[in-house]
Amino acid sequence: MSVGWGIAGCGWVARDHALPALLATPDARVVALHDRDPDAPARMDGDAARCAGLAEFLATPGLDAVYVAVPNDAHREVVEAAAAAGKAVLCEKPLAADTADAEALVAAADRAGVLLGTAFDQRWHPAHVRLRELLPELGTVTAVRVVYCCWLPADWTPDGRAHDNWRVDRARAGGGAAIDLAPHGLDLAGVLLGEDVVELTATLQTRVHGYAVDDGALLHGRTGGGVLVDLHVAYNTPDALPRRRLEVVGTRGLAVTVDTMGQTAGGTLTLHRPDPVDVPFAGTAPFVAQFDAFTAAVAGTAPWPYPAARDLALHRLLVETLHTATSSAGARALRTPVRRARASAAPLPERTP
Ligand SMILES: NC(=O)c1ccc[n+]([C@@H]2O[C@H](COP(=O)([O-])OP(=O)(O)OC[C@H]3O[C@@H](n4cnc5c(N)ncnc54)[C@H](O)[C@@H]3O)[C@@H](O)[C@H]2O)c1
């Protein structure tokens, strides 16, 4: 069965990553595009219907599944409408800007009996799939360490055009670097280990950019089985620096990936036991693998392995942790002048959160 996809939110991730991946997914057809900005669908490739209104979009003939890539605070309204229309939904991370919206959109999918997944593309990166297979060679896994950072000033734009940078607006994003970037590492740790983080603390930073949300954060957690999970996420690391690294530490070995956390299929995987050995990996780009898997689930040919209830539990844990951390960071920010480093920053060739 060929699955008809619609894209709601035709901005950066939809245009540069999701649409090309969907067009490369054998059993997927893109039948409709929707954005509240009428110029945004016009910038997308293909001949899908361009729909200014959400109701018109959801009524497109042949529409089976909706990929939701609007800003975080708008996920709920789109997911609720899509679910009520009986469409399967793949919603971008984080599930929402807060817990109430995330709970509501998961409940809406449950009520409607439609499949809901979170678009954690990094689950599908071929290096991470290979790393999962290597875990037995590491002995008892003791820790997962993630560095996932980038440079995002207040006037950040993905393509040089003026951009609505909702990422630094607490109401629309739910916070700053931590709510945007930490979900990937939290999800990935659980996917790799087969057990999720159940305890989490966070220290937020407002040091470089001077906006009202965190531009850096350290998060420390523990899985149900006792594995330590450590995340450094940031909007204040120049993109030219090494800034994307994943380590899984065990009693007999250490696996390290570099530049695999992101939307593309590149990077390296090295196994140290103790001598380093480069481990080859092959497979499709993470977005293609993700859409392939969700398309198969909608077609009923394979199950979707990541229940929305599980993603919601992780989201709830993260948001609750950040709320506690945010108040102390905010108080510090009021007392301490923010040091601005914009002048010393490197050119910004690329951003890949
Ligand atoms: N998985 C990833 O690697 C990844 C990468 C980037 C972004 N994201 C997520 O994707 C989502 C979108 O991010 P982006 O960087 O593409 O943002 P963006 O600002 O580039 O694009 C968002 C688009 O949504 C449109 N929009 C805003 N509100 C809308 C509404 N209520 N109804 C319809 N359209 C609306 C805007 O006009 C814009 O075109 C966010 O949730 C973000 O966290 C995920």
**Closest CA relative to residue 250, chosen from 151, 135, 170:** 135
**Confidence at residue 326, expressed as pLDDT on a 0 to 100 scale:** 62
Domain stops at, among 74, 95, 119: 119
Query: 353 lies in a domain?
Result: no
| CB of 264 shorter than 6 A to ligand 1 | no
CATH number (domain holding residue 161): 3.30.360.10
**Confidence at residue 328, expressed as pLDDT on a 0 to 100 scale:** 53
Domain stops at, among 119, 151, 184: 119
Q: Would you list the DSSP string of 216-237? A: EEEEEEEETT--EEEEEEESBS
Claim to verify: residue 176 and residue 205 sit in the same structural domain: yes
Claim to verify: residue 198 and residue 330 sit in the same structural domain: yes
270: three-class secondary structure by DSSP: strand
Claim to verify: residue 157 and residue 250 sit in the same structural domain: yes
Q: Which atom of ligand 1 is nearest to the CA of 35?
A: 34
How far are the Cα atoms of 9, 35, 58, 295, 303 from residue 85, in angstroms, in the given order?
17, 18, 7, 18, 22
pTM equals 0.93
Which tokens go with 313?
């539990």
Ligand 1 centroid distance, CA of 41 (Å)? 12
Give the burial class of 84: count Cβ atoms within 10 A of its Cβ; 0-12 exposed, 13-18 middle, 19 or more buried.
Answer: middle
DSSP H helical ranges for 151-251 = 170-173, 177-193
Cα–Cα–Cα angle for 94, 261, 310, nearest 5°? 40
| CB of 37 shorter than 6 A to ligand 1 | yes
**Confidence at residue 162, expressed as pLDDT on a 0 to 100 scale:** 87
Domain stops at, among 71, 91, 119: 119
User: Does residue 313 contact residue 196 with C-beta atoms inside 8 Å?
Assistant: yes
Q: Is the peptide bond before 94 cis (omega within 30 degrees of 0)?
A: yes
Query: 190 lies in a domain?
Result: yes
Beta strand pairing status for 254-258 and 216-223? unpaired
Claim to verify: residue 38 and residue 145 sit in the same structural domain: no
| CB of 353 shorter than 6 A to ligand 1 | yes
CATH number (domain holding residue 96): 3.40.50.720
Lateral strand order in the sheet of 3-8 = 49-51, 28-34, 3-8, 65-68, 88-92, 116-119
Query: 299 lies in a domain?
Result: no
Query: 309 lies in a domain?
Result: no
Per-residue pLDDT of the chain (353 residues), as tens digits, is 799 999 999 999 999 999 999 999 999 999 999 999 999 999 999 999 999 999 999 999 999 999 999 999 999 999 999 999 999 999 999 999 999 999 999 999 999 999 999 999 999 999 999 999 999 999 999 999 999 999 999 999 988 888 899 999 999 999 999 999 999 999 999 999 999 999 999 999 999 999 999 999 999 999 999 999 999 999 999 999 999 999 999 999 999 999 999 999 999 999 999 999 999 999 899 999 999 999 999 999 999 999 999 999 999 999 999 998 965 554 444 333 333 333 333 333 344 44
Q: What is the 3-state secondary structure (H, E, C) of 22-48?
A: HHCCCCEEEEEEECCCCHHHHCCCCCC
3-state helix, strand, coil in the chain (%, to 5): 40, 25, 40
User: Does residue 143 contact residue 222 with C-beta atoms inside 8 Å?
Assistant: no
Domain count, the chain: 2
Claim to verify: residue 202 and residue 110 sit in the same structural domain: no
Query: 308 lies in a domain?
Result: no
Query: 350 lies in a domain?
Result: no
- Ligand 1, atom 19, lies closest to the CA of 11
**Confidence at residue 160, expressed as pLDDT on a 0 to 100 scale:** 85
Claim to verify: residue 62 and residue 200 sit in the same structural domain: no
- How many residues comprise the chain? 353
Range of the domain at 20: 3-119
Claim to verify: residue 138 and residue 20 sit in the same structural domain: no
**Confidence at residue 8, expressed as pLDDT on a 0 to 100 scale:** 98
Ligand 1 centroid distance, CA of 57 (Å)? 17
Claim to verify: residue 174 and residue 241 sit in the same structural domain: yes
Claim to verify: residue 126 and residue 113 sit in the same structural domain: no
| CB of 187 shorter than 6 A to ligand 1 | no
**Confidence at residue 350, expressed as pLDDT on a 0 to 100 scale:** 44
| CB of 92 shorter than 6 A to ligand 1 | yes
Query: 84 lies in a domain?
Result: yes
Claim to verify: residue 279 and residue 325 sit in the same structural domain: yes
Q: Which residue has the tokens 């506690």?
A: 324
Claim to verify: residue 101 and residue 218 sit in the same structural domain: no
Claim to verify: residue 166 and residue 191 sit in the same structural domain: yes
| CB of 36 shorter than 6 A to ligand 1 | yes
Ligand 1 centroid distance, CA of 197 (Å)? 27
Residue from 92, 98, 124 to probe ligand 1 pocket by mutation (most atoms less than 8 Å from CB): 92
Query: 57 lies in a domain?
Result: yes
| CB of 156 shorter than 6 A to ligand 1 | no
